[in-house]
Every structure is written in C-alpha cells, then in structure tokens.
A = this chain, B = another copy of it.
Amino acid sequence: MRVEIWSDIACPWCYVGKARFEKALAAFPHKGEVEVVHRSFELDPGRSKSDIGPVVPMIAKKYGISEAQAQAAEDNVGAQAEAEGLEYRTRGRDHGSTFDMHRVLHFAKEHGKQGELFQIFYRANFAEERSVYTEGDERLVELTVEAGLDADAVRKVLADPDAYADAVREDEREAAELGATGVPFFVLDRKYGVSGAQPAEVFAQALTQAWGERPPLKLIAQDDDAAACGPDGCAVPPRG
C-alpha cells in the first residue's frame, strides 16, 4: 500500500499531522508493506525568495487580528505539537518561500533521502533556531548535507531555478486534481483521502480501511499462451 502526503515545510499542521500519521503507522500491523511518499504543496507559491518576515505579524495581517491574537494562535499550535512530542518554537519563527526546499526535496527523492530531508527541514523550521528562509543557499545546503547528500550537487540544484521545478509543479497539479485545497493531505492507494492533521485514530482507521479494501487485481488479456517465464521455464506462444 502506498500513502502519499502532500505538505509544505511552512505548514505547522503538516508538521503535527505527520507525527500523528506516523503514530498510527507505527501501530499498524502491515506497516512493513506501507510505502510513504512525500509530495510538494506550497502554501504561498507566488512568494519571492527574498520576501522573508516574522510569522506572527504575517498571521495578524492575513486574518486582520492583533499580534497578540496571532501569537495566541501560534501558542495553540505549539501546544498541540508538544502534545505529539514535537518541539515547537512559538517565538521568533520566520516565513518565506519554500519553492527551493521543494526542489531540493525532489533531488533528495532521487537519492532515497526525501523522508529524512523533510524531517530535517521541519525540525529546522519549527524546532530549531535555524531559519530555512535565507537569501543565500548555504542554510539549505547545510541541512541537505545532514541528510547525507553531496554539498556541491545540492548547490548546483539551488543555482538552477529550473532544476526539479517541473516535479514540484506536477505534485501541485496532482494535488489540485485530487481535490486538495489545503495541507496536510494524505492519499492512500489513490483511493482514500484524509485532509488535515486528524487525530492518530483517524489515520489508523484510514489505514485499516484502505488495507482491507485493496481490490483484487483484474487481469487484462488473461491468456494461457501468454509469453511468460515461470519456475518451470518459459512458455513459447504460438505466434511469432
């Protein structure tokens, strides 16, 4: 079974939702047969790389609320993150473009390191004093190297704005096609969807349901004369 998770590094509920999903997955009897794939979704796709600013005033402006109310919203997310055993800095976080991070995540995917790197980006953004939003590339290089990838190769990806850009856009196009308007968005075997940082019990239910309803394969063109090889040798069909 395959679970695809659309999320953004800048999305606090993605950080919390991932932990809740992983809690459910850890207790799932067939966890060894579940493949998790991360997909890109930018909350702020038009944002320029140089447009960086503190989170709390940004929230206040977006909702038309006071900075104290915005801080209270951050504190609430922080409390829910802590309840999941996650560190969450409710003061001093920045907000900015995540496009380059998503490009690098697709590069990391080719090297089997996407899951690790996503977690490293989350930790840097939400738990640590290392902002992922910087004008230069060195912070992202530093974090990507922590996932075991080569610094020069990552620098090349970051220096070329087209590198893996199509892969990011394709993920976002698929999210829209699947009906996702926000993240986190979990898709199980392209059949079931779970929207938002639902409680672990909801993910457990979704895993169980999707697992139980895996359809038996429908064979197309079943044919005893098919050109195939098995333990007893290779069939040689009459044609040819």
Contacts and interface: CB of A to CB of B under 8 A. Distances in A.
Contacts of A219: 179, 192-195
A32 B11 CA distance: 28
Interface string A95-129: 00000000000000111100000000000000000
B178 A190 contact: no
Q: How many copies of the chain does the oligomer comprise?
A: 2
A234 interface: yes
Interface in A163-211: 170, 174, 178-179, 181-185, 187, 189-198, 202, 205-206, 209
A151 interface: no
Contact of A228 (B62, B196, B202): B196
A119 to B, nearest CB: 17
A137 interface: no
Contacts of A240: 76, 79-80, 83
A147 interface: no
A234 B13 contact: yes
Contacts of A111: 110-112
Interface residues of A, number: 73
Contact of A214 (B16, B190, B226, B235): B190
A69 B111 CA distance: 46
Contacts of A216: 179
A167 to B, nearest CB: 11
Contacts of A73: 234, 236
B189 A227 contact: no
Given A227-B16, A230-B181, A192 B220 contact: yes
The 4 closest A-B pairs by CB, nearest first: A196-B226, A182-B230, A110-B112, A196-B228
24 contacts: A11-B229, A11-B234, A13-B229, A13-B235, A14-B229, A17-B228, A43-B231, A44-B231, A59-B234, A73-B236, A80-B227, A111-B112, A112-B112, A179-B217, A181-B230, A183-B229, A187-B217, A189-B189, A190-B215, A191-B218, A192-B220, A196-B223, A196-B228, A205-B220
Interface of A: 1-2, 8, 10-14, 16-17, 32-33, 43-44, 59, 62-63, 73, 76-77, 79-80, 83, 109-112, 170, 174, 178-179, 181-185, 187, 189-198, 202, 205-206, 209, 214-223, 226-236, 240
